Amino acid sequence: MKYLVTGAAGFIGSHLTEALLERGDEVVGLDDLSTGHRSNLAGFEGDLELIIGDIRDLETCKRAVAGCDYVLHQAALGSVPRSVADPITSHEVNTTGTLNMLVAARDAEVSGFVFAASSSYFGDTEVLPKTDDMPPRPLSPYAVTKVTCEQYVKVFASLYGLPSMGTRYFNIFGPRQDPNGPYAAVIPKFIEILMRGDRPTINGDGEQTRDFTYVENVVGANLAACANAEAAAGHIMNIACGERMSLNTLHKLIADALGVDLEPIHGPPRAGDVRDSLADTSLAAKLIGYAPKVTSREGLQRTVDWFKSKA
């Protein structure tokens, strides 16, 4: 089979690309390298066709998807704070870019289109766990873009017959996740800061919780979605571990794994952030047979070990 992975040089996209190549599939990668890095493809870049291009350009999307059986659409401009600072660019990349990819995939008559949705869809609802059919309550421009894309995915399935679906991610982490920059995710950022002997900053009291999900679980979910594209078409499925962890606990686990004793600094809460997050993954289990294979704690140890090996 031939797959198009958008955002192939990114954190999740590179893991998907590597897994597909390892099982013998043909892969086309599309990435503009604005947030992805070619270093994420080290060791297997020569085994794929890498197109350096922007999903905001429809013709680029059409060229990339030509001849592909499946599309794993990971490309996006992530980060809630980034979208708060620049909502227009987040909209252009995430919403217009996804619409371009859906149009290109429809015209190419692919067998399955998997969109990387986001748990930011749920906003700050107090109901836990968060079920797939809850109404959206986006708190940031980033969340609005992802909610809008979910609707496009559903419409393309019902209106055009494109087997399109969404895998709604909850705080994905793992090797190759970028620890640098103002919009870095919390786990690689904590690891990097603690490894150099500094104290990380936690926004708020640290008792906010997240359903941290190791990247290997996401790879399995995407491949399972492709294998069950007809059954899953038109659905958006939560992909997570189904367990939650506070940022204070996260900090302690990382510090213990690194053998350091450094208390965090607590700063003000961050605008647009949700308080608690926990996923119900029963729909994904029913439609595509999803079950997380790596717990958040096991994944955290693997991730710390990887960062230590690269130090």
Q: Can you give the pLDDT at residue 100? A: 98
Q: Can you give the pLDDT at residue 78? A: 84
Choice among 78-82, 115-119, 194-198 with the minimum mean pLDDT:
78-82
Active-site annotation, residues: 142
Q: Can you give the pLDDT at residue 21? A: 98
- pTM, whole model, 2 decimals? 0.94
What is the full DSSP assignment across the chain? -EEEEETTTSHHHHHHHHHHHHTT-EEEEEE--SS--GGGGTTTGGGSEEEE--TTSHHHHHHHHTT-SEEEE------HHHHHH-HHHHHIIIIIHHHHHHHHHHHHT-SEEEEEEEGGGGTT---SSBPTTSPP---SHHHHHHHHHHHHHHHHHHHH---EEEEEE-SEE-TT----STT--HHHHHHHHHHTT-PPEEESSS--EE--EEHHHHHHHHHHHHHTHHHHTT-EEEES-S--EEHHHHHHHHHHHHT---PPEEEPPPTT--S---B--HHHHHHH-----S-HHHHHHHHHHHHHHH-
**pLDDT tier at 181 (50, 70, 90 boundaries)?**
low
Span 213-222, average pLDDT: 98
Q: Can you give the pLDDT at residue 249? A: 96
Q: Can you give the pLDDT at residue 58? A: 98
**pLDDT tier at 211 (50, 70, 90 boundaries)?**
very high
Average pLDDT, the chain: 95
Span 257-283, average pLDDT: 89
User: Which pLDDT tens digit goes with each residue over 133-156?
Assistant: 999 999 899 999 999 999 999 999
Choice among 46-55, 117-126, 145-154 with the minimum mean pLDDT:
117-126
CATH number of 2-172+214-241+280-293: 3.40.50.720
Q: Is the pLDDT of residue 184 over 70?
A: no
**pLDDT tier at 11 (50, 70, 90 boundaries)?**
very high
User: Which pLDDT tens digit goes with each residue over 229-266?
Assistant: 999 999 999 999 999 999 999 999 999 999 999 999 99
User: Which pLDDT tens digit goes with each residue over 57-96?
Assistant: 999 999 999 999 999 999 999 888 889 999 999 999 999 9
Q: Can you give the pLDDT at residue 260? A: 94
Q: Is the pLDDT of residue 177 over 90?
A: yes
Span 268-281, average pLDDT: 84
Q: Is the pLDDT of residue 110 over 90?
A: yes
Q: Is the pLDDT of residue 216 over 80?
A: yes
Span 162-185, average pLDDT: 89
CB 114 within 8 A of CB 75: no
Q: Can you give the pLDDT at residue 126? A: 83
**pLDDT tier at 227 (50, 70, 90 boundaries)?**
very high
Q: Can you give the pLDDT at residue 183? A: 58
CB 212 within 8 A of CB 253: no
Span 293-297, average pLDDT: 96
Choice among 150-154, 163-167, 276-280 with the minimum mean pLDDT:
276-280
Q: Is the pLDDT of residue 282 over 70?
A: yes
Span 94-107, average pLDDT: 98
Q: Can you give the pLDDT at residue 272? A: 65
